[in-house]
Chain A
Protein backbone atom coordinates (compact mmCIF):
# COMPACT_ATOMS: atom_id res chain seq x y z
CA UNK A 1 0.00 0.00 0.00
CA UNK A 2 1.56 3.26 -1.18
CA UNK A 3 -0.53 5.43 1.15
CA UNK A 4 -2.07 7.28 -1.80
CA UNK A 5 -5.80 6.76 -2.21
CA UNK A 6 -7.89 7.29 -5.30
CA UNK A 7 -11.63 7.11 -5.77
CA UNK A 8 -13.49 5.73 -7.53
CA UNK A 9 -11.61 2.64 -8.64
CA UNK A 10 -13.76 2.18 -11.73
CA UNK A 11 -15.94 4.64 -13.59
CA UNK A 12 -18.14 3.94 -16.57
CA UNK A 13 -19.85 6.82 -18.27
CA UNK A 14 -21.11 8.04 -21.62
CA UNK A 15 -19.66 10.43 -24.16
CA UNK A 16 -20.33 14.06 -23.39
CA UNK A 17 -20.51 13.52 -19.65
CA UNK A 18 -18.39 15.03 -16.90
CA UNK A 19 -16.62 13.11 -14.13
CA UNK A 20 -14.46 13.93 -11.12
CA UNK A 21 -11.59 11.77 -9.95
CA UNK A 22 -10.35 12.20 -6.42
CA UNK A 23 -6.92 11.68 -4.91
CA UNK A 24 -5.60 11.84 -1.35
CA UNK A 25 -1.80 12.00 -1.14
CA UNK A 26 0.39 10.29 1.42
CA UNK A 27 0.42 11.99 4.80
CA UNK A 28 2.85 14.87 4.67
CA UNK A 29 3.30 14.93 0.90
CA UNK A 30 2.74 18.34 -0.64
CA UNK A 31 3.06 17.47 -4.32
CA UNK A 32 0.37 15.74 -6.33
CA UNK A 33 0.82 14.60 -9.91
CA UNK A 34 -1.79 13.28 -12.32
CA UNK A 35 -0.92 10.81 -15.08
CA UNK A 36 -2.95 9.17 -17.82
CA UNK A 37 -2.18 5.67 -19.06
CA UNK A 38 -3.76 4.68 -22.35
CA UNK A 39 -2.96 1.96 -24.84
CA UNK A 40 -1.96 4.33 -27.61
CA UNK A 41 -0.24 7.09 -25.62
CA UNK A 42 1.37 5.13 -22.81
CA UNK A 43 1.93 6.87 -19.48
CA UNK A 44 1.69 10.63 -19.80
CA UNK A 45 2.01 13.40 -17.28
CA UNK A 46 -1.03 15.65 -17.08
CA UNK A 47 -0.58 18.20 -14.31
CA UNK A 48 1.19 18.84 -11.02
CA UNK A 49 0.16 20.70 -7.88
CA UNK A 50 2.38 21.69 -5.02
CA UNK A 51 0.80 22.84 -1.77
CA UNK A 52 -2.32 24.05 -3.52
CA UNK A 53 -0.65 25.75 -6.47
CA UNK A 54 -0.40 24.50 -10.01
CA UNK A 55 3.28 23.90 -10.84
CA UNK A 56 3.46 22.23 -14.19
CA UNK A 57 1.21 21.21 -17.03
CA UNK A 58 1.77 18.41 -19.48
CA UNK A 59 -0.39 17.08 -22.25
CA UNK A 60 -3.62 17.99 -20.53
CA UNK A 61 -6.61 18.76 -22.69
CA UNK A 62 -8.56 21.98 -22.19
CA UNK A 63 -11.57 19.82 -21.32
CA UNK A 64 -9.64 18.61 -18.28
CA UNK A 65 -8.94 20.61 -15.16
CA UNK A 66 -7.64 19.94 -11.70
CA UNK A 67 -7.19 21.54 -8.33
CA UNK A 68 -5.58 20.83 -4.99
CA UNK A 69 -7.49 21.78 -1.88
CA UNK A 70 -6.22 23.14 1.45
CA UNK A 71 -6.26 19.64 2.95
CA UNK A 72 -3.98 18.66 0.01
CA UNK A 73 -6.38 16.25 -1.64
CA UNK A 74 -6.74 16.79 -5.36
CA UNK A 75 -9.47 16.38 -7.92
CA UNK A 76 -9.20 15.89 -11.66
CA UNK A 77 -12.25 16.99 -13.61
CA UNK A 78 -12.86 15.57 -17.07
CA UNK A 79 -15.65 17.10 -19.13
CA UNK A 80 -17.24 16.57 -22.54
CA UNK A 81 -15.86 13.07 -22.43
CA UNK A 82 -14.87 11.30 -25.62
CA UNK A 83 -14.22 7.64 -26.34
CA UNK A 84 -10.50 8.37 -26.47
CA UNK A 85 -10.52 9.56 -22.87
CA UNK A 86 -10.92 5.96 -21.72
CA UNK A 87 -7.77 5.23 -19.75
CA UNK A 88 -6.28 4.51 -16.37
CA UNK A 89 -5.76 7.73 -14.44
CA UNK A 90 -3.13 7.75 -11.75
CA UNK A 91 -2.45 10.19 -9.00
CA UNK A 92 0.99 10.22 -7.43
CA UNK A 93 2.38 12.13 -4.50
CA UNK A 94 5.81 13.06 -3.30
CA UNK A 95 7.34 15.17 -0.60
CA UNK A 96 9.14 17.22 -3.23
CA UNK A 97 9.69 20.86 -2.56
CA UNK A 98 8.55 21.95 -5.96
CA UNK A 99 11.50 23.03 -7.99
CA UNK A 100 14.14 23.00 -5.28
CA UNK A 101 15.04 21.23 -2.10
CA UNK A 102 17.47 18.61 -0.91
CA UNK A 103 15.87 15.88 -2.93
CA UNK A 104 14.04 17.70 -5.64
CA UNK A 105 13.59 14.57 -7.72
CA UNK A 106 12.44 12.25 -5.01
CA UNK A 107 10.33 9.27 -5.81
CA UNK A 108 6.64 9.51 -6.47
CA UNK A 109 4.24 7.05 -4.92
CA UNK A 110 1.26 6.10 -7.01
CA UNK A 111 -2.31 5.50 -6.05
CA UNK A 112 -4.18 2.43 -7.32
CA UNK A 113 -5.62 4.38 -10.24
CA UNK A 114 -9.10 5.08 -11.55
CA UNK A 115 -10.08 3.14 -14.63
CA UNK A 116 -12.33 5.33 -16.75
CA UNK A 117 -14.41 3.77 -19.49
CA UNK A 118 -16.30 6.08 -21.82
CA UNK A 119 -19.02 4.35 -23.84
Chain B
Protein backbone atom coordinates (compact mmCIF):
# COMPACT_ATOMS: atom_id res chain seq x y z
CA UNK B 1 0.00 0.00 0.00
CA UNK B 2 1.10 3.53 -0.63
CA UNK B 3 0.84 6.45 1.75
CA UNK B 4 1.61 10.15 1.52
CA UNK B 5 2.13 12.32 4.58
CA UNK B 6 2.08 16.09 4.59
CA UNK B 7 2.69 17.30 8.12
CA UNK B 8 2.18 21.03 7.56
CA UNK B 9 -1.51 21.91 7.50
CA UNK B 10 -0.66 25.56 6.89
CA UNK B 11 2.36 27.62 5.96
CA UNK B 12 2.94 31.26 5.28
CA UNK B 13 5.73 33.04 3.47
CA UNK B 14 6.63 36.58 2.56
CA UNK B 15 6.39 37.55 -1.07
CA UNK B 16 9.64 36.97 -3.00
CA UNK B 17 10.99 34.52 -0.42
CA UNK B 18 11.41 30.78 -0.91
CA UNK B 19 9.30 28.18 0.87
CA UNK B 20 9.56 24.42 1.29
CA UNK B 21 6.49 22.22 1.59
CA UNK B 22 7.19 18.84 3.15
CA UNK B 23 6.09 15.48 1.82
CA UNK B 24 7.06 11.99 2.90
CA UNK B 25 5.86 8.82 1.31
CA UNK B 26 5.73 5.13 1.97
CA UNK B 27 5.64 2.37 -0.61
CA UNK B 28 7.07 -1.06 -1.20
CA UNK B 29 7.18 -0.46 -4.96
CA UNK B 30 10.56 0.06 -6.59
CA UNK B 31 9.11 2.07 -9.47
CA UNK B 32 6.83 4.98 -8.69
CA UNK B 33 6.15 8.59 -9.48
CA UNK B 34 5.81 11.57 -7.19
CA UNK B 35 3.70 14.60 -8.06
CA UNK B 36 2.77 17.97 -6.72
CA UNK B 37 -0.53 19.64 -7.52
CA UNK B 38 -1.78 23.13 -6.70
CA UNK B 39 -5.41 23.80 -5.88
CA UNK B 40 -6.33 27.50 -5.78
CA UNK B 41 -9.53 28.68 -4.15
CA UNK B 42 -11.34 28.26 -7.46
CA UNK B 43 -10.98 24.51 -6.99
CA UNK B 44 -9.15 23.26 -10.03
CA UNK B 45 -6.18 20.90 -9.66
CA UNK B 46 -3.09 22.17 -11.42
CA UNK B 47 -0.16 19.83 -12.10
CA UNK B 48 3.13 21.40 -11.01
CA UNK B 49 5.98 18.93 -11.08
CA UNK B 50 6.83 15.24 -11.36
CA UNK B 51 9.72 13.06 -10.13
CA UNK B 52 10.25 9.48 -11.12
CA UNK B 53 11.75 7.12 -8.59
CA UNK B 54 14.65 6.30 -10.91
CA UNK B 55 15.39 9.89 -11.82
CA UNK B 56 18.79 10.81 -10.44
CA UNK B 57 18.37 14.54 -10.76
CA UNK B 58 15.83 16.58 -8.85
CA UNK B 59 12.99 17.80 -11.04
CA UNK B 60 12.61 21.51 -11.73
CA UNK B 61 9.83 23.43 -13.47
CA UNK B 62 10.35 27.16 -13.46
CA UNK B 63 10.09 28.39 -9.86
CA UNK B 64 9.22 24.91 -8.63
CA UNK B 65 11.76 22.28 -7.71
CA UNK B 66 11.36 18.94 -6.05
CA UNK B 67 13.90 17.99 -3.40
CA UNK B 68 13.88 14.20 -3.79
CA UNK B 69 15.63 12.18 -1.08
CA UNK B 70 14.91 8.57 -1.90
CA UNK B 71 16.57 7.03 1.16
CA UNK B 72 14.52 9.26 3.43
CA UNK B 73 11.41 8.79 1.28
CA UNK B 74 10.83 12.49 1.04
CA UNK B 75 9.77 14.64 -1.90
CA UNK B 76 9.62 18.22 -0.71
CA UNK B 77 8.41 21.00 -2.99
CA UNK B 78 10.46 24.18 -3.06
CA UNK B 79 8.87 27.32 -4.43
CA UNK B 80 11.36 30.08 -5.08
CA UNK B 81 10.52 33.79 -5.20
CA UNK B 82 6.96 33.34 -3.92
CA UNK B 83 4.21 35.36 -5.53
CA UNK B 84 0.80 36.34 -4.20
CA UNK B 85 -0.75 34.01 -6.77
CA UNK B 86 0.99 31.06 -5.13
CA UNK B 87 -1.49 31.20 -2.25
CA UNK B 88 -3.35 27.90 -2.55
CA UNK B 89 -3.59 24.33 -1.28
CA UNK B 90 -0.71 22.11 -2.35
CA UNK B 91 -1.05 18.36 -2.59
CA UNK B 92 1.70 15.81 -2.80
CA UNK B 93 0.74 12.57 -4.53
CA UNK B 94 2.28 9.34 -5.73
CA UNK B 95 1.44 6.63 -8.17
CA UNK B 96 2.88 3.19 -8.76
CA UNK B 97 2.44 0.40 -11.23
CA UNK B 98 1.12 -1.90 -8.54
CA UNK B 99 -1.65 0.61 -7.94
CA UNK B 100 -2.54 0.93 -11.62
CA UNK B 101 -1.15 4.43 -11.50
CA UNK B 102 -3.92 5.83 -9.42
CA UNK B 103 -2.86 8.87 -7.44
CA UNK B 104 -2.64 8.64 -3.67
CA UNK B 105 -2.82 12.11 -2.17
CA UNK B 106 -1.64 13.63 1.05
CA UNK B 107 -3.88 15.82 3.17
CA UNK B 108 -2.44 18.97 1.65
CA UNK B 109 -0.71 22.12 2.87
CA UNK B 110 -2.39 25.51 2.67
CA UNK B 111 0.15 28.15 1.67
CA UNK B 112 -0.48 31.83 2.27
CA UNK B 113 1.82 34.36 0.63
CA UNK B 114 1.94 37.70 2.42
CA UNK B 115 2.90 40.95 0.67
Contacts and interface: CB of A to CB of B under 8 A. Distances in A.
Contact of A99 (B52, B100, B105, B107): B100
A44 B96 CA distance: 15
Nearest to A115: B43
A67 interface: no
Interface string B78-115: 00000000000001010111011111110110000000
B45 interface: yes
Contacts of B64: none
B59 to A, nearest CB: 11
A99 B100 CA distance: 6
Interface string A24-52: 00000001010100000011110010000
Give the interface size bracket for A toward B. 20 to 34
Contact of A112 (B33, B44, B102): B44
Given A42-B107, A42-B108, A104 B44 contact: no
Contacts of B45: 90, 92, 110, 113
A17 interface: no
Nearest to B95: A105
Contacts of A108: 35, 47, 95, 101, 103
Interface in A99-119: 99-100, 104-110, 112-113, 115
Main secondary structure on chain A at its contact with chain B? strand
Nearest to A88: B43
Contacts of A109: 47
Contact of A100 (B91, B93, B97, B102): B97
A44 B104 CA distance: 7
Contacts of B46: 2, 110
Nearest 9 interchain pairs by C-beta: A105-B33, A56-B100, A110-B45, A43-B105, A45-B102, A105-B95, A55-B100, A112-B44, A107-B50
Interface of B: 31-33, 35, 37, 43-47, 50, 52, 91, 93, 95-97, 99-105, 107-108
Given A43-B91, A110-B45, 6 more contacts: A43-B105, A104-B31, A105-B95, A107-B50, A112-B44, A115-B43
